[in-house]
Structure formats: C-alpha cells, structure tokens
Amino acid sequence: MYGIKIQALVIARLFYTINLEGYLGVQPAGPYAVENSITAVTKRMIQLISDTGRNVTMDNWYPSVPLAEDLLTQYNLTVVGILKKNKPEIPDDFKKKGREVSSSLFRFGKNHSTLVSYCPKKNKVVLQLSTMHNDASGSASISYYLALLTDCATQGGRLSEAEKSVIFPMAYSSVRMRNAKQ
C-alpha cells in the first residue's frame, strides 16, 4: 500500500490544525535530514504548544510511558493515549486476555502517569496511558473516561458534547496528534 503519511497536531474542539509534518522516509545526510523516531517527531510537533499546560490526546502510534513523562516534566503537557501491547514498560499481567468484561487494572507511576488495562469485550484488552489522571481516588471516573476514549478511538466515532465535557475538562485545552494516511 502506497501513500503519504502526515502527522497532524490539531485542536480537537475547533478542528484547527496547529502543525503538520510529512513522513518522507530516511533522509540523506545534509541540511534537511531529521530524525524520524516517534519521540523526535512528537517533540518537533509539540514545540508550538510547549509549556501551555495543555493535554495531548494521541493515537496508538505515538504514546509510551517515557515519552509521556518527558512531555509532562520537560514541556508541561499532559498525555492521554492508547498504547500498543509491544511496549517494554507494560507489565505482562496488563496484556492478559480472558478477564471479566468492563474490568480495569490500574498502575500508578512515580512520575504522575497512570497505566490502565481495560477489557471492553471478551478476549480483548486495550491499554491506556494518562499523565492527566494520576491517583486512585477517581478510578471510577477514570475508567468511564478511558472507556469513552477507547470507544471513540476503536469505533472511529464522534463524541457528544456531554462526553467531550467529561473527556476534555475545562482546566485543559486538548490537542490531538494523529497519523493521516492518504
């Protein structure tokens, strides 16, 4: 399959594009060569919103625990996203299938990160990462929030205004990073 891969940083509520970057493959040595690692691409994309205290909602290509913690500590940006199961920082018990439907496992990191393993249906596990939510006191609301995020991300659906008010609280201005293949 051929196409153009474009990374986009977009304000979710306004559908306003802040930054775009095309993936052009490995660049030859020279003045225009850039690193194409996920971390390098993400840090280039968020430069315009660095230190604004916003939340960045990422699709599953971008997030990792080290990147999310780095964006929080170095750039003052929180991260919410769905993780791929191949990340080394994910505990094995979070990847196990066969759990009760609608059950969640939580792990709270030392640097304000929350890792959630959510079972939306039988034999399926969705892994979510958040540096926006970082304590066990609101685990029920976190589960609801992440269930909405999972439904939106996996079904390609749109959120209602009520759901948006839960997912994107007024204290944060949300920005979304996506891969767009044309």
What's 139's DSSP letter? H
Domain that holds residue 12: 5-181
User: Are 146 and 103 a contacting pair, CB within 8 Å?
Assistant: no
Whole-number Cα distances in Å, 179 to 23, 60, 83, 176: 10, 9, 14, 10
Residue-level pLDDT, tens digit, the chain, 182 residues: 567 788 888 887 777 888 888 887 777 888 888 888 889 989 999 999 999 988 888 888 888 889 999 999 999 998 888 888 888 888 888 888 888 887 788 888 777 788 888 887 888 888 888 888 765 555 555 555 555 555 554 444 444 444 444 444 333 334 555 555 54
Q: How many domains does the chain have?
A: 1
Q: How far apart are CA 91 and CA 72, in angstroms?
A: 22
Model-level pTM?
Answer: 0.72
